Structure 1
Amino acid sequence: MFQRIITFFERHSFGVCTYLGERFHISIAKIRLFFIYSSFLAVGFPIIFYFLAAFTLDIRGYVRKIRLKYWDI
């Protein structure tokens, strides 16, 4: 049961922790724990940062797809 929950969140996550882990060469699990613990200490501010980063990464990927389409013409 617990493994199914973890698999669900890994499939439907925004990829922010993965992006930060690859960018700064840090374990993804440590970044996830940082967001969880700091959200309790900072009363939700890291959650706002997480969603802003997810929104930024989503727009960034969308812009890259559009650029590739225009350069292929």
Structure 2
Amino acid sequence: MNIFYKPVLFFQKHGYYVCQRIADRLGIRAKVVRTSFMYLTFVTLGFGFALYLFLAFWIRIKDFIYSKRTSVFDL
């Protein structure tokens, strides 16, 4: 059973971060964003999941481009 739990824990740890960042940006709870992605996926037969993957990719690219510097000496 450990084989099944490792991927689930990995996706829960890294996958929900997309919903959390979107929720922080919009000023709403992450639970609302997660349930809306689930409903969108069921209603549109997978479009919500494709949108979720696109947003995850976009956030990752944005993090690579815009690195947060804490001081002037980090340049």
Shorter-chain-normalised TM-score: which range? Answer: 0.7 to 0.9
Residue 46 (structure 1) aligned to one of 36, 45, 48:
48
| Structure 1: gaps spanning 5 or more residues | none
User: How many residues end up aligned between the 2 structures?
Assistant: 65
CA distance in structure 1 between the aligned counterparts of 2:52 and 2:22, rounded to whole angstroms: 11
Q: Which 10-residue stretch deviates more, 27-36 or 8-17?
A: 8-17
The percent identity for this pair of structures is 25
Residue 17 (structure 2) aligned to one of 15, 18, 38:
15
On the 8 A contact 1:14/1:54 being kept in 2, the answer is: no
User: Are residue 29 (structure 1) and residue 61 (structure 2) matched?
Assistant: no
CA distance in structure 2 between the aligned counterparts of 1:36 and 1:62, rounded to whole angstroms: 28
- The one-letter code matched in structure 1 to 2:17 is G
| Structure 2: gaps spanning 5 or more residues | none
**Larger RCO of the pair (alpha carbons < 8 Å, separation 6+):** 1
CA distance in structure 2 between the aligned counterparts of 1:28 and 1:55, rounded to whole angstroms: 18
Cα RMSD (Å) of the superposition? 2.4
Deviation at 1:64, TM superposition (A): 1.8
Residue 62 (structure 2) aligned to one of 54, 60, 63:
60
